[in-house]
């Protein structure tokens, strides 16, 4: 756990009217031999829990109550420390929504080996937020206190429900957060205020940017023609490779993300990972580099649409085309899996149907991971990063991910294409994840009686809760679909 937390544990202990002798006694309750916790250091999680447990025993309160009180105490201090990462226009739910990226930007910059939590958030409305995490630390009372403490900072009031909790035996903890009161007359504290704590030097990577909203004229020697699109991670430009006389697409990381070394590594890893897979059903990567401090990836320019867009425009596709798309996706995954790469985010948005012929190209290896890239797990402990509807049960539970997880996601896609519904449904992020965790999908033949039994059998095996019950590998799935295609054509 980051040393900054230990620094504030002592401040919290002092604020509870414990004298210095009491703090010395509390400090002696942990096993770590260090005499002083440095804000820039990293210390065992157990030390923090033991310190808070000792505070609880000294004050006569339960550990969950002390964790929540500490979170509420800690939050305003962390908001100040994170000042340069916080948009001045944000309020409570905005900051909670962006907490994961802020934590990574702050902690990863000074301690690349740290394991901060990864949170999944959904914002159904401006005054409502849903949050899920599956950290083995199981410090949900602390998270609850932090949220209320952030609200205190912004002079707002929250209502928080916890539909699932690992302490109650659930596979993850979740919160449904609503902002129910705003004090618009209260004056906000300056987020730029200097505090007594620094967690390290400025991040080494400058937040360079192309001036204004005008597209750059060149990136990495490629002539930029126009912007194709933009999202939370950055922008994609159409450019011209004059040497080979072909158009390319260039993805550039957003300047705010480039401040975070972990985000930059994740972005460049996407390019290196995808470039390693040479297969007709995986998008080709031509180059990875940096321009004015911003990393970029030069990709094959694809013309067509995603599987999601095709379904939205055309409705349910013909069985033959669904089978072909499933086979080609399996073939592309098999090529990645043979290199030890797991995509980890297979979904309709990441299956591109390239014209002419709508040939499958798997895109966006941003969450892909090899066995050991550089000793750093980009998605880290406790992660549920990905798209909830297509997540495997083992991803939700924070377990080990392998090729079987990609096959589960492919099975969900095929089920959705065949039945016009998902096998696991819910009205919220939490209920969706809970349905997948329970592993009780509606049988495909019940949901879509028109689907041939052999096809339905394959799909149901792909979405089996126990990954050992899924097909052996993507190559086997491709071969089985090919046999189904031959049977359907006779």
Q: Please check whether residue 474 lies inside any domain of the structure.
A: yes
Domain boundary among 41, 61, 81: 61
3 occurs within a structural domain:
yes
204 falls within a domain: no
129, 93 Cβ separation under 8 angstroms: yes
| DSSP collapsed to 3 states, the chain | CEHHHHHHHHHHHHHCCCCHHHHHHHHCCCCCCCCCCCCCCECCHHHHHHHHHHHHHHHCCCHHHHHHHHHHHHHHHHHHHCHHHCCCCCCHHHHHHCHHHHHHHHHHHHCCCCCCCCCEEEEEECCEEEEEECCCCCCHHHHHHHHHHHHHHCCEEEEEECCCCHHHCCCCEEEEEEEEEECCCCCCCCCCCCCCCCCCCCCCCCCCCCCCCCCCCEECCEEEEEEEEECCCEEEEEEEECCCCEEEEEEEECHHHHCCHHHHHHHHHHHHHHHCCCCCCECCEEEEEEECCEEEEEEECCCEEEHHHHHHHHCCCCHHHHHHHHHHHHHHHHHHHHCCCECCCCCHHHEEEECCCCEEEECCCCCCECCCCCCCCCCCCCCCCCCHHHCCHHHHCCCCCCHHHHHHHHHHHHHHHHHCCCCCCCCCHHHHHHHHHHCCCCCHHHHCCCCCHHHHHHHHHHCCCCHHHCCCCHHHHHHHHHHHHHHHHC
> What pLDDT score was predicted for residue 374?
36
Domain annotation covers residue 199? no
Task: Pull the structure tokens for residue 33.
Answer: 């031999």
- Render each residue's pLDDT in the chain as its tens digit; 490 residues: 566 777 788 888 878 766 555 767 777 766 555 566 666 666 667 778 888 888 888 888 898 899 999 999 989 888 888 887 788 888 999 888 887 677 666 665 555 555 555 567 777 788 888 888 766 677 888 889 999 999 999 999 999 988 888 888 777 788 889 998 765 444 344 333 333 333 332 333 344 455 445 568 899 899 999 888 776 667 889 999 999 999 999 988 877 677 777 678 778 877 887 888 899 999 999 999 888 878 999 999 989 999 999 999 999 999 999 999 999 999 999 999 998 888 888 999 999 999 989 999 998 875 454 433 333 233 333 333 446 789 898 887 767 788 999 999 999 999 999 999 999 987 777 778 888 888 889 999 999 999 999 999 999 999 999 999 999 899 999 999 999 999 988 7
Last residue of a domain, one of 16, 37, 61: 61
383 with 458, same domain: the answer is yes
Verify that 131 and 84 share a domain, yes or no. Answer: yes
Residue 421 domain-assigned? Answer: yes
Which residue range forms the structural domain that includes residue 11?
1-61
Catalytic residues: 345
pTM over 0.75: no
Question: Are 326 and 469 in a shared domain?
Answer: yes
Quote the pLDDT of residue 197: 33
**Claim to verify: residue 474 and residue 330 sit in the same structural domain:** yes
The pLDDT of residue 20: 57
Whether 234 is in a domain gets the answer yes
Last residue of some domain: 256, 279, 300? Answer: 300
| Closest residue by Cα to residue 240 from 273, 208, 271, 286 | 286
Is residue 243 domain-shared with residue 314, that is, in the same domain? no
CATH code for the domain of 178: 3.90.1520.10
Question: How many domains does the chain contain in total?
Answer: 4
Say if residue 461 is in the same domain as residue 414.
Answer: yes
Q: Are residues 76 and 118 in the same domain?
A: yes
Tell whether 207 is covered by a domain: no
Give the other-Cβ count within 10 Å of 427's Cβ: 8
Residue 441 has phi, psi (to 5 degrees) of -75, 155
Q: Is residue 211 part of a domain?
A: no
Are 177 and 256 in a shared domain?
Answer: no
pLDDT value of residue 231? 66
């Amino acid at each position: 756990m980051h040393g900054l937390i230990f620094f504030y544990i002592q401040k919290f202990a002092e604020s509870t009217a414990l004298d210095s002798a009491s703090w010395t006694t509390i400090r002696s309750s942990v096993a770590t031999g260090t005499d002083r916790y440095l804000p820039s250091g990293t210390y065992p999680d157990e030390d923090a829990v033991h310190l808070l447990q000792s505070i609880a025993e000294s004050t006569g309160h339960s550990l969950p109550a002390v964790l929540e009180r500490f979170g509420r105490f800690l939050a305003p201090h962390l908001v100040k420390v994170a000042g340069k990462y916080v948009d001045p226009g944000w309020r409570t739910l905005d900051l909670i929504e962006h907490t994961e990226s802020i934590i990574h930007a702050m902690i990863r910059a000074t301690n690349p080996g740290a394991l901060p939590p990864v949170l999944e958030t959904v914002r159904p409305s401006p005054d409502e937020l849903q949050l899920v995490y599956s950290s083995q630390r199981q410090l949900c009372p602390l998270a609850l206190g932090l949220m209320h403490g952030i609200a205190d900072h912004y002079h707002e009031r929250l209502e928080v429900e916890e539909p699932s909790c690992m302490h109650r035996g659930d596979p993850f903890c979740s919160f449904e957060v609503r902002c129910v009161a705003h004090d618009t007359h209260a004056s906000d504290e300056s987020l730029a205020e200097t505090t007594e704590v620094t967690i390290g030097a400025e991040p080494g990577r400058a937040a360079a940017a192309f001036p204004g909203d005008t597209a750059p004229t060149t990136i990495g020697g490629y002539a930029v023609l126009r912007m194709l699109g933009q999202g939370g991670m950055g922008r994609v430009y159409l450019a011209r490779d004059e040497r080979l006389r072909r158009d390319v697409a260039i993805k550039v990381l957003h300047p705010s993300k480039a401040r975070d070394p972990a985000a930059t590594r994740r972005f460049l890893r996407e390019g290196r990972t995808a470039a390693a897979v040479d297969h007709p059903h995986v998008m080709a990567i031509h180059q990875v580099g940096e321009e004015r401090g911003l990393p970029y990836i030069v990709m094959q320019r694809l013309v067509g649409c995603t599987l999601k867009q095709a379904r939205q425009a055309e409705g349910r596709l013909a069985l033959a085309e669904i089978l072909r798309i499933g086979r080609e996706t399996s073939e592309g995954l098999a090529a990645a899996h043979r290199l030890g790469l797991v995509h980890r985010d297979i979904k309709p948005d990441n299956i591109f149907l390239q014209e002419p012929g709508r040939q499958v190209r798997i895109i966006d290896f941003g969450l892909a991971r090899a066995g050991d890239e550089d000793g750093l797990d980009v998605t880290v402990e406790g992660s549920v990063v990905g798209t909830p509807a297509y997540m495997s049960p083992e991803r939700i539970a924070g377990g080990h991910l392998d090729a079987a997880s990609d096959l589960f996601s492919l099975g969900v896609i095929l089920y959705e294409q065949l039945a016009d519904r998902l096998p696991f449904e819910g009205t919220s992020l939490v209920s969706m994840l809970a349905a997948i965790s329970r592993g009780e999908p509606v049988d495909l033949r019940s949901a879509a009686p028109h689907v041939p039994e052999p096809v339905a059998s394959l799909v149901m095996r792909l979405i089996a809760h126990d990954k050992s019950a899924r097909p052996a590998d993507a190559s086997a799935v491709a071969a089985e679909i090919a046999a189904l295609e031959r049977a359907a054509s006779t």
